[in-house]
Amino acid sequence: MVNEKGFCHLVGAGPGNPGLLTLLGKECLSKAQVVVYDHLCSAELLHFAPKSAEYIYAGKKAGRKVLSQEAINQLLIEKAKSGLHVVRLKGGDPFLFGRGGEEAEALATAGIAFGIVPGVSSAIAGPAYAGIPVTHRSYGAYLTIFTGHEDLNKSSPKLDYAALTHAGGTKVMLMGMARLGTIIKELLIHGMHRSTPVALIRWATTGCQQTLCGPLEEISQKAKEIGFTAPAVAVFGEVVRLREKLNWFESRPLFGKRIAVTRSTLQASTLLRALSNLGADAFELPTIRIEPPQDERAFLQLVADTHKYDWLIFTSPNGVDTFFQAFFGIYKDVREIGGVRIAAIGPATAERIRSYYLQVDLMPTQYVAEAVVRAFQEKMSVENLRILLARSGNARPFLRKELTRLGAIVDEAIAYRTVPESDECVGMRRFCEEGADIVTFTSSSTVENFVTLQLSPPENFQTASIGPITSRTLTRLGFSVDIEAIQHTIPGLVKAICQYYAAP
């Protein structure tokens, strides 16, 4: 819906790790109708915006521009003038060498209302993730941040290298890799000591972060020899010596491991965040998409009749959410669910049920359908009990068949279905270009649809399965199972991956 008056937020996306987006930035994205985003913005951040939003890529990579700065300014003005809420998502902080000042000026000149949401800059976060504090009481009280990529049209574009050299303290350079050799030569000429410690931090705060250290007189050649290129932050000063002691991120158990997550986009965030927090270069490779059931009317009728059943069984968090969205579309009070008792497969499902202020009466210690049947048998006879099974349309028929065989009267409420993800995404392109160390599979449908996509990575990968049912599907479709979670949950899968890499 078009607003009567448009607005533009210039939002700092942070340095690369999506977890470093501010809460206000996330809130702005959630209300966006147009998102204009840069090359260095994490693709995960776009999920915070509504699906109905218009997404416009305006990135610059290695000097190549999709849109000129003037075109970007005009685009923001035109979209806001049409009454839309525009979010200009910019890497790092909009006002720190991000040309946000120019965009804000253009908006102000055009009479467009705008707001600024500061972001975490790689000038601070990059060194921090490399174990380098940019200030420290023992190493000086100055911090200088400068750009190595100047506007050559300025009347005096040349950096004041003498002032930089004699300022003392720490110097942090952004966007200077292309001119690193020239800049270092000037610093040496103007008196910076050749043994000054320097750190170059590439793809800072992400699982593919790389850090290269060396003395000032050698660092440019070292970078050239190994092909160390942009995007990178450079830190000059004695604080670099602290990295040896404070290198916390690059010592994480999964640091540098490229891991593809095949869950649907809506489900992937929990696993992505857990892997990323352990240092992994985790990315979405969605092979499935969650869709409504084919017969929504039948599903809604069963939801409305829940109070008539003795037991309600949930097999996944998706089923819980879909069920209660339908339930509260019919009823306004959770007590309308009646005296039905509730069973859940897995702690994540149980936790989601409790989020609706309901208790779980039965949860087996193993998180598979077979264990649910055993748990019922140990607790009671199910003969003549009315059981409503809220599940995916793709789930195995085992639970219904076994409970029916034991005498229960079972109805299936097909809450949702998983379908192959047909939309191409950044993760698919990345997987085909770069491959992955591990591909995670959290259900049989993720495996089956992975095969359907016919993706061709450049090299072999290891598989990580959430449990035996998924593992059987992997084996049936010709994959080896390299990792299988003992506890069939997302935390269990993450633990199994860590143990795999920790093994001698």
Q: Which are the catalytic amino acids?
A: 38, 60, 175
- CA distance readout (Å), 410 to 32, 358, 370, 381: 44, 22, 16, 14
| Distance between CA atoms of residues 263 and 284, nearest Å | 8
Asked whether 344 and 377 are in contact (CB, 8 A), the reply is no
d(CA 340, CA 150): 68
CA pair distance 111, 445, nearest whole angstrom: 51
Half-sphere exposure of residue 496: CA atoms within 13 angstroms, side-chain side: 24
Which residues, 6 or more positions from 185, have their beta carbon under 8 angstroms from its beta carbon? none
The values of phi and psi at residue 35, to 5°, are -120, 120
Which structure tokens are listed for 462? 């290891």
Q: How many CB atoms lie within 10 A of CB 74?
A: 14
Locus of tokens 């993450």: 494
Contact 204, 132 (CB under 8 A): no
168 in the Ramachandran plot: left (φ > 0), alpha (ψ -120 to 50) or beta? left
Collapsed DSSP state (helix, strand, coil) of residue 105: helix
- Please report the DSSP string for 431-470 in residue order: HHHH--SEEEE-SHHHHHHHHHHT---SS--EEEESSHHH
Count of C-beta atoms within a 10 Å radius of residue 333:
7
Beta bridge partners, 419, equal 289
Structure tokens at 249: 């991120």
CB 398 within 8 A of CB 370: yes
Q: In whole angstroms, what is the distance from residue 161 CA to residue 150 CA?
A: 13
Q: b/e string for 447-482 if b means 16 or more Cβ within 10 A? A: bbbbeebebebeeebbbbbbbebbbebbeeeebebb
CA distances from 62 to 59, 147, 229, 233 (A): 10, 16, 10, 15
